[in-house]
């Protein structure tokens, strides 16, 4: 056990040293970073449905698809509501807060998140690249109407489908549903940032199954840059990264901050 603790502290020290030396840093976060905020980790969009088909007899991927929203919006909204309710009231944890602090301490720190829970913004991250959108932003499927909501409690209860106050078309959360394209603005911003290069890439709480999540890590690794994975389990990146912290996100970031923070 003492040897494991020494290995952990050595790795934390190495990560802190890389963080201090790096001119440009990319943080990449997934559902695991929000686990300490009480949110379920996700398979696809939601681990709430790992046990099989939904009560509508379809997979969660089909229920939460762009095609289902267009044809049967009441089905899609049923599960969107359940996911939002699972997220409701959650607060940022130490991992979110420390990333926001690190962003404020120096320029050249970029945050890419797969999460739609909005906890990075709530923690103080000013401009995360939310590649899958944000569940608190609703938009009309027909016109330019948009609105930011605190929660869905004020929306019409199920099975009613929320509708645009301007044109009566269906409202939807501004998130990427299954089968839909990623938002062009987010992808373009990511492309521009990656083109500038990163000295350090830190991947936190994601299985990294999507190519656009893997790509910055692989590019940095091929260029001899430092890469870090924070995840208790093994992922597709585990054998590639320079350093691994096999602990939870909040624990890891507390350890890093304790060694890094200005004296």
Peptide bond preceding 159 in cis form (omega within 30 of 0):
yes
Q: What is the mean pLDDT of residues 179-197?
A: 95
Q: Is this model's pTM higher than 0.85 or not?
A: yes
Q: Are residues 99 and 203 in the same domain?
A: yes
Q: Are residues 144 and 221 in the same domain?
A: no
Q: Are residues 233 and 199 in the same domain?
A: yes
Q: Are residues 150 and 241 in the same domain?
A: no
Q: Is 243 exposed, middle or buried (0-12, 13-18, 19+ CB in 10 A)?
A: middle
Range of the domain at 57: 47-89+136-175
- CATH code of residue 14: 3.40.50.1220
The residue from 72, 96, 120, 132 that is catalytic is 132
168 pLDDT higher than 70: yes
CA angle 259, 121, 149 (to 5 degrees): 155
Q: Are residues 99 and 221 in the same domain?
A: yes
Query: Rounded distance, CA 118 to CA 200, Å?
Result: 24
Q: Are residues 245 and 210 in the same domain?
A: yes
Q: Are residues 191 and 252 in the same domain?
A: yes
pLDDT confidence of residue 52: 64
Tell me the chain's radius of gyration from C-alpha atoms: 19
- CATH code of residue 76: 3.30.1600.10
Q: Are residues 80 and 204 in the same domain?
A: no
Asked which of 119, 153, 175 is the last residue of a domain, the reply is 175
Q: What is the mean pLDDT of residues 145-174?
A: 94
More confident residue, 231 or 261: 231
Q: Are residues 190 and 233 in the same domain?
A: yes
Q: Are residues 249 and 211 in the same domain?
A: yes
51 pLDDT higher than 90: no
Q: What is the mean pLDDT of residues 10-34?
A: 96
Asked which of 114, 149, 175 is the last residue of a domain, the reply is 175
132 is catalytic: yes
More confident residue, 10 or 3: 10
Per the listing, tokens 């709430």 go with 48
Q: Are residues 201 and 77 in the same domain?
A: no
Q: Are residues 85 and 96 in the same domain?
A: no
Q: Which residues pair with 27 in a beta bridge?
A: 111, 202
Query: Domains in the chain: how many in total?
Result: 2
Packing angle, helices 94-105 and 249-260, rounded to 10: 40
């Amino acid at each position: 056990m003492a040897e494991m603790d020494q290995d952990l502290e050595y790795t934390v020290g190495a990560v802190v040293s890389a963080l201090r030396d790096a001119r440009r840093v990319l943080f990449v976060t997934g559902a695991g970073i929000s686990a300490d905020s009480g949110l379920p980790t996700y398979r696809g969009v939601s681990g709430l449905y790992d046990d099989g088909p939904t009560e509508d007899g379809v997979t969660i991927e089909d229920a939460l698809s762009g095609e289902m929203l267009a044809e049967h919006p009441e089905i899609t909204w049923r599960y969107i509501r359940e996911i939002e309710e699972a997220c409701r009231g959650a607060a940022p944890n130490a991992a979110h807060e420390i990333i926001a602090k690190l962003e404020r301490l120096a320029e050249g720190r970029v945050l890419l998140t797969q999460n739609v829970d909005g906890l990075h913004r709530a923690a103080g991250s000013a401009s995360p690249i939310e590649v899958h959108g944000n569940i608190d932003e609703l938009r009309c499927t027909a016109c330019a109407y948009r609105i930011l909501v605190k929660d869905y409690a004020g929306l019409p209860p199920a099975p009613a489908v929320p509708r645009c106050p301007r044109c009566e078309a269906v409202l939807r959360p501004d998130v990427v549903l299954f089968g839909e394209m990623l938002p062009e603005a987010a992808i373009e911003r990511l492309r521009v940032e990656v083109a500038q290069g990163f000295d350090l890439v830190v991947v936190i709480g994601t299985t990294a199954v999507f190519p656009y999540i893997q790509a910055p890590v692989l590019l940095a690794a091929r260029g001899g840059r430092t890469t870090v994975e924070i995840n208790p389990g093994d992922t597709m990146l585990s054998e590639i990264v320079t350093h691994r912290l096999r602990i939870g996100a909040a624990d890891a970031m507390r350890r890093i901050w304790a060694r890094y923070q200005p004296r």
